[in-house]
Structure 1
């Protein structure tokens, strides 16, 4: 019977091509708009590191001056999300967490050893301790993180991205080879595999949806070589450095280093907060930390919400998109009523020759499912087009990020079919109530 109903459905669609096309395109437009919005909202709100999000914490200390709070939010003083160099190194040397790392950044012209200077590219570079790779679950395609000696002494080694490895070394294993950062040679110790945490929780808000940086070097290497790009860091001071030298920046009360710690449990979180309190009291004795001893540990989710990278409340745009889908489906339902009304004679004749109401419902349900399936397929194409347009309109979102997952594709098709069936149920039941006698009289 299924084959027979499919044949009847396609015959019916061919008999009313314009009306059938309108129903399909109406569903497609609604599905396309809803799924474009849903995909963007899903990707922007997802947990970037679900296995660790409750164990990784951004450390915040209230190190600003006595007469100048960092910020007042909702009537309460809040500390900066970044630390001074000396505080970051003091916490690093204390080793109170399972793992910990400061994060720095700068920009420099980079190129392969054999490339001419004219082919050098300005590259954003991350600096960190080797713990970063384990903390943030960074996968490796070749090699791995540098060793503890490179961390301590600030050796000129680097981990590069797969994308940069493809450009410089045509995708081959480049471990042991070198590249130039500025005029200095750095030995490659590792190549990361595909690694695009969304959002990039450990970076500044404006970069949260950018690609991870192509080069990572030891934090002390940046310090030893005085690699500094003021435009690449959030550099905030309550008291200006004594001069413009790099050493003055390191000794200053200016905050610019992001600091993350991994803790195993809530009990460890409490112990680390106690450690931060003791540290702030100790620094007060040295004439620092003269404001309220306010210190905070925000895990990944808390940090993203606090910095307004993600929103706690629902996404209004998502609700509006699905409301628009509802309007499209209501219009489609009206067209189904009109379409099935023109088939009352056919229904009456089928009833007269023995078809039951259930047979009529099954016939029109198959036709409605086909309309929903075609609308969902076209809606997928419109949604993908919408994602391409979104990536072009919002430069902070990279195109590779805005891709529909297999699960979203399946959900789109299922949503299209079930929505078409839900809104087509009333017209189908109405058509099935046609009495054969009333139609046979008109023949």
Structure 2
């Protein structure tokens, strides 16, 4: 019977070519618009590290107080005092401190000009915690952190630029007139968003950092932060040298992460955070009750509103446009099916059940939806090629036209066409044979 219904659908499509073409075009345009914006939204809202996102947490400690924090929420970054206390307490499996800075790379030959590179000052657990892949070498050790060693991990792109892509581990690179020994070269690694540094890097979909140096080394060199640096009040002590005043202030500028593999670890660490804040209140540093937070990757990205508003808004607009297309298709389908009322009346008089009418017309709608899906694939591919004209290049570059999106496009076209055909099919199935035979007679 399916072959029969398909043959009937093809015959009727040929008879009403204009209506069929209009339905196909409407569905393909509506579905393609949705799929393009969905591809962008999916890329920006995807879990950046799904295999362990429920084990990585951002600790927050309120060092500003209720008079200066944002609606009772602690600062998103930590002061140096709290960050170092967290690092040295070692209450988690791994703990990482991060702050961004800029470094001048001085080439070893006259063929290259000095260049400014974005870098992150991080503690040694950074690479293991975030599963950073290495092409050559690896990260530095705990002792390198303790000794403020002049070591560095560079990106594959910088390694290609400076050393032609060969194994450069053990060689030296000059940063801000200081020589650093390269201990590792990262493979292609560009988490989008940069979830581990969404606060201090300003834009979470920015290009990857080219340099990673020991946090302790950057502090020792008094390397200023290039990211967010905010204070509740004028807490910088004028009686201290400038850098010491920054380190002793309540200004927030350091991102912190901890790795907690189990739920028990999470609860234990949350208790430790609360007790730490209570201790700071007890010694007189805080004049307010403990106010701490512990958020995993998904919660943190939600709090930080990482998904661009443009992608959210465009998805809402495109879904609304699809609904408008759907309403128009309902009208076209109703006109298309009700024109065949005499035919339906004859079939019912000859013994066809309402179920048979439902199957015939829904099969016809599915066939039209499939045609709309095929055209929608072409429009989606065309739209994906031009998505960079609507969204930021970093965001547009993340959207992919993969097999899952292609399949979803076809399924969406078929399903929406079937939904649009439900009411017209129901109306067609209600046709009374006697009325049609009487009117025809």
TM-score by length of 1: 0.78
Match of 2:243 among 242, 246, 250: 246
Provide the C-alpha distance between the structure 1 equivalents of 2:4 and 2:174, rounded to a whole number of angstroms.
70
List aligned pairs for 1:11-410, cutoff 5 A. 12-13=12-13, 16-64=16-64, 69-73=67-71, 77-110=72-105, 116-118=111-113, 120-165=114-159, 173-177=167-171, 179-186=173-180, 187-198=182-193, 200-204=195-199, 206-230=202-226, 232-236=227-231, 238=233, 239-242=235-238, 245-280=242-277, 282-283=279-280, 288-309=285-306, 318=315, 321-340=318-337, 365-383=362-380, 391-395=388-392, 397-410=394-407
Separation in structure 2 between the aligned mates of residue 266 and residue 429 of structure 1, nearest angstrom: 52
Q: Which moved more, 1:432-441 or 1:211-220?
A: 432-441
Deviations 1:307-339 (A, max 9, x none): 34469xxx7875664343232122123223334
Distance 1:112 1:423, change over 3 A: farther
Relative to structure 1, is the Cα distance of residues 117 and 416 closer, same or farther in structure 2, using a 3 angstrom cutoff?
A: same
Provide closer, same or farther for how the CA distance between residues 199 and 425 of structure 1 changes in structure 2, counting only shifts above 3 A. Answer: farther
Deviations 1:98-123 (CA, angstroms, capped at 9, x unpaired): 110111111234476568444x5433
Shift, 1:417, TM fit: 0.8
Q: CA deviation at 1:414?
A: 0.9
* Cα drift, residue 226 of structure 1: 3.0
Counterpart Cα distance in 2 of 1:116 and 1:181:
17
3-state DSSP of counterpart to 1:216: strand
Q: Shift in Å at residue 295 of structure 1?
A: 3.0
CA, structure 1 residues 139+245, in 2 after alignment: closer, same or farther (shift >3 Å)? Answer: same
Q: Which residue of 409, 413, 430 maps to 2:410? A: 413
Q: Structure 1 unaligned segments of length 5 or more: list them.
A: none
Shift of the 265–419 alpha-carbon distance from structure 1 to 2, 3 Å rule, reads same
Q: Any conservation in 1 of the 2:68–2:232 contact (CA below 8 Å)?
A: no
Structure 1 residues 440, 281: CA separation in 2 closer, same or farther (over 3 Å shift)? closer
Residues 301 and 251 (structure 1), Cα distance of their counterparts in 2 relative to 1, 3 Å cut: same
Shift of 1:27: 0.6
Q: Residues 136 and 31 (structure 1 numbering): CA distance in 2 closer, same or farther, change over 3 Å? A: same
> For residues 420 and 163 of structure 1, do their structure 2 counterparts lie closer, same or farther at Cα, with a shift above 3 Å needed?
farther
Change (3 A) 1:69 1:138: farther
In 2, distance between residues paired with 1:307 and 1:391?
A: 24
Cα-to-partner distance string for 1:195-226 (whole Å, 9 max, x where unaligned): 42446254218423334423322212322333
Kept after mapping to 1: 8 A contact 2:342/2:436:
no
Q: 253-262 or 285-294, which moves further after superposition?
A: 285-294
CA distance change for structure 1 residues 440 and 4 in 2, over 3 Å: closer, same or farther?
Answer: farther
Shift of 1:257: 0.8
CA shift, 1:179, in A, is: 4.6
The 1-side partners of 2:340 and 2:151 are apart by: 75
* Residues 47, 198 of structure 1: 8 Å contact kept: no
Q: Which residue of 1 aligns with 2:419?
A: 422
Measure, in 2, the Cα distance between the counterparts of 1:390 and 1:364: 37
CA deviations over 1:342-400 (Å, ceiling 9, x no partner) = 66788799999999987776665454333312322333454456566665444385323
- CA contact under 8 A between 1:341 and 1:431: conserved in structure 2? yes
What secondary structure is seen at the aligned counterpart in 1 of 2:404?
A: helix
Distance 1:142 1:319, change over 3 A: same
When residues 420 and 293 of structure 1 are mapped into structure 2, their CA distance, relative to the original with a 3 A threshold, is closer
Structure 1 vs Structure 2 CA RMSD: 4.1
